[in-house]
Amino acid sequence: MNILIVGSGGREHALAWKIAQSPLVDTVWSAPGSLAMDRIGPCFDVKADDVENLEKLALQLEPDLIVIGPEAPLAAGLADILRARGFDVFGPDREPAQLEASKGFAKDIMARLGVPTAAYGRFTEPEDAKAFLRTLDAPYVLKADGLAAGKGVVIAPTLAEAEAEAEAMLGGKFGEAGAELVIEEFMPGEEASVFVLTDGVNRLTLPACQDHKRLLDGDEGPNTGGMGAYCPAPVMTEALLKQVDEEISEPMIEGLREAGHPYQGVLYIGLMITPEGPKVVEFNVRFGDPECQVLMASLEDDIVPALLACATGGMPQRDFTALMPKLSEARPAATVVLATNGYPGAYEKGSVITGVKTADEIEGVTVFHAGTGVNEAGDWTAQGGRVLSVTAVGDDLKQAIDRAYAGVDAIDWPQGVHRRDIGWRALGKSE
Ligand code: AMP
Ligand code: GLY
């Protein structure tokens, strides 16, 4: 079979790499893909949010499965359009994709279905927002309702700062995405990400991951799209995973189906493990980046039957192991993101990166590319904020992390920055 992947980041490179290993697959096409993805299969110069031309490309290529990586085309209805054309699509329709595109929408559904999450209010008027803030305790969590590239959440330590932030956000700080404001109760605890594959009825939970959202070691500095991740995350015990399945995954997937919007794809559950149990921080409607890189490296099973089952229906009822028998043996995996100095703010493009091949040749290591080009001399160059995701598997998490850092250390890129402490919480737990 032939599979078309939509997207161009580290997540999509990892998906292409894993999908290409399937004995079921002849060709992996990507749109727009990247230079790194082009080494796996042909790339087509159509942007991931160019819904009209992606539809044309699909009609021309007639792929057996289309895997949509990022959230923007899902929120814009690409999956609906392709399904209406008869394609099998991995990724939810526009309506359920609002779980990510509108935080207020997600909160309302969780409230209706009784899914555990922080208490909240939705506001368009600064005065109402401020009145609600005064009913909460510090710190205060303020979120732009719409898609803001992971930057729309502010945690304000004092009431005065929270009130000023509410004014700024409703005053246009995040543009359209901030026309509505969601204010939440602060949830203390450790975070984890759980990824559930579903055909709208049945579900299969992948090994739990932990992302590192802050730029600097010790979880300091600004929030980013993610500077590293690992799996399985020991914070998610069997008992907690079962609780998440029963209290979150099942009611969400059932609730969406009953509302006439069956969810087909991967539901990303961002969790806070609070003293009262796991609660939802956010939903995303796609794989995490860089969590996808560790999951694809970790899973020994062929992912393609599972992706296909989500797209076509027909996941065996509750029988997770029928699709991925080695799921419970998922190998420990870790990834370290190399970003251009300046990210998540302004940064320069074009700096030369050497040693990627050496890193790739280390046992257990795979380097996924998120934003690279090639110069005239044939060297890789940095073309984005997050640029490489150095990923490794190991017999245990420590070995996976050590190998990932051996990969990082083989790479010479003076303009690059990365964290040195990926996995610190898990390593602390195992000591
Ligand atoms: P989000 O984009 O909703 O995932 O929020 C970004 C980050 O803000 C999360 O990863 C959490 O670290 C933090 N956060 C969001 N909501 C809350 C909350 N209600 N309580 C505590 N931390 C939160
Ligand atoms: N790594 C966080 C995300 O993909 O949203």
**CATH assignment of the domain containing 377:** 3.90.600.10
Q: What is the pLDDT averaged over residues 152-173?
A: 92
Claim to verify: residue 209 and residue 324 sit in the same structural domain: yes
Task: For residues 179 and 207, state if they share a domain.
Answer: no
Q: What is the CATH number of the domain that holds 175?
A: 3.30.1490.20
Question: Which residue has a Cα nearest atom 14 of ligand 1?
Answer: 281
Whether 357 is covered by a domain: the verdict is yes
Ligand nearest to the CA of 288: 2
Structural domains of the chain, count: 4
Residue of 105, 272, 289 best suited for mutating to test ligand 1, as the one with most atoms within 8 Å of CB: 272
Looking at ligand 1, which atom is closest to the CA of residue 185? Answer: 19
pLDDT tens-digit readout, 270-294: 999 999 999 999 999 999 999 999 9
Q: How far apart are CA 226 and CA 290, in angstroms?
A: 6
Question: By residue range, what is the domain housing residue 154?
Answer: 119-185
- Rounded to the nearest whole angstrom, what is the distance from the C-alpha of residue 282 to the centroid of ligand 2? 10
**Amino acid at the residue 169:** M
Q: What is the domain-level CATH number for residue 235?
A: 3.30.470.20
CA separation for the pair 8, 58 (Å, rounded): 17
- Between β-strands 2-7 and 65-68, what pairing exists: parallel, antiparallel or unpaired? parallel
State how far the Cα of 156 lies from the Cα of 165, in Å rounded to an integer. 8
What are the angstrom distances between the C-alpha of 308 and each of 58, 91, 208, 300, 303?
16, 11, 21, 17, 9
Counting beta carbons within 10 angstroms of the beta carbon of residue 123, is it exposed (0 to 12), middle (13 to 18) or buried (19 or more)? buried
Same domain, 245 and 313: yes
Place of tokens 């939903």: 283
Nearest ligand atom owner, CA of 182: 1
Last residue of a domain, one of 297, 313, 329: 329
On the question of pLDDT at 431 being above 50, the answer is no
Residue 63 near residue 307, CB atoms below 8 Å: no
Q: Residue 151 — very low, low, confident or very high, per pLDDT cuts 50/70/90?
A: confident
Q: Does residue 376 sit within a domain?
A: yes
For the ranges 34-38, 150-154, 224-228, 416-420, the lowest mean pLDDT is seen at 150-154
**How far, in Å, is the centroid of ligand 1 from the Cα of 372?**
30
Mean pLDDT (whole number) for 85-100: 97
Beta strands (DSSP E) in 164-246 are 181-184, 190-198, 203-205, 210-211, 214-216, 220-223, 228-231
Of the listed ligands, the closest to the CA of 224 is 2
The residue to mutate among 102, 132, 141, 212, having the most atoms of ligand 1 within 8 angstroms of its beta carbon, is: 141
Alpha-carbon distance of 267 to 97, in angstroms, equals: 10
The most confident of the ranges 9-13, 167-171, 175-179 is 9-13
Ligand nearest to the CA of 151: 1
Q: How far is the CA of 4 from the centre of ligand 1 (A)?
A: 33
Q: Determine the Cα–Cα distance for residues 384 and 340; give it in Å rounded to an integer.
A: 7
- 46 and 146 assigned to the same domain: no
Residue 110 lies in a domain: no
Q: pLDDT per residue over 26-85, tens digit each?
A: 999 999 999 999 999 999 999 999 999 999 999 999 999 999 999 999 999 999 999 999
Residues 160-183: what's their mean pLDDT? 89
Angle ∠(403,409,412) on CA atoms, nearest 5? 145
The DSSP 8-state label assigned to residue 332 in this structure reads P
Residue 261 resides in a domain: yes
Tell whether 30 and 68 lie within a shared domain: yes
Cβ < 6 A, ligand 2 pocket: 150, 211, 225-226, 284, 288-289, 291
214 and 305 both lie in a single domain: yes
7 and 88 fall within a common domain: yes
Q: Is residue 148 part of a domain?
A: yes
137 occurs within a structural domain: yes
Residue 113 clears pLDDT 50, i.e. is over it:
yes
Question: How many angstroms is it from 297 CA to the middle of ligand 2?
Answer: 17
**pLDDT at residue number 96:** 96
Query: Helices 291-298 and 10-20: crossing angle, nearest 10°?
Result: 20
Domain boundary (329, 349, 369) is at 329
| Ligand 1 atom 8 nearest Cα | 153
Selected residue with higher pLDDT from 2 and 101: 2
Residue with the nearest Cα to atom 4 of ligand 2?
A: 288
Between CA 331 and CA 333 the distance in angstroms is 6
- Report helix angle 103-113 to 94-101, nearest 10: 100
Last residue of a domain, one of 329, 356, 380: 329
pTM: 0.95
Name the band, by pLDDT with cuts 50, 70 and 90, for residue 318.
low
- More confident position, 179 or 17: 17
pLDDT of 429: 67
Radius of gyration of the CA atoms of the chain, in A? 21
Is 282 touching ligand 1 by the criterion CB < 6 Å? Answer: yes
pLDDT band at 329 (very low <50, low <70, confident <90, very high): confident
Is 309 in the same domain as 197? yes
**Residues 154, 221: one domain?**
no
pLDDT grade for 150, boundaries at 50, 70 and 90: low
136 and 235 within one domain? no
Alpha helices per DSSP H over 222-325:
238-244, 250-258, 291-298, 304-312, 320-323
CA of 289 to the centre of ligand 2 (A): 5
Q: Which atom of ligand 1 is nearest to the CA of 187?
A: 20
- Our CA dihedral for 342, 348, 349, 355, rounded to 10 degrees, sits at -60
Q: How far is the CA of 6 from the centre of ligand 1 (A)?
A: 27
**Position in ligand 2 atom list of the atom nearest CA 289:** 4
Say whether both 352 and 424 belong to one domain: yes
Percent of the chain scoring above 90 in pLDDT: 88
**pLDDT tens profile 175-198:** 887 788 999 999 999 999 999 999
- Ligand 2 atom having least distance to the Cα of 226: 1
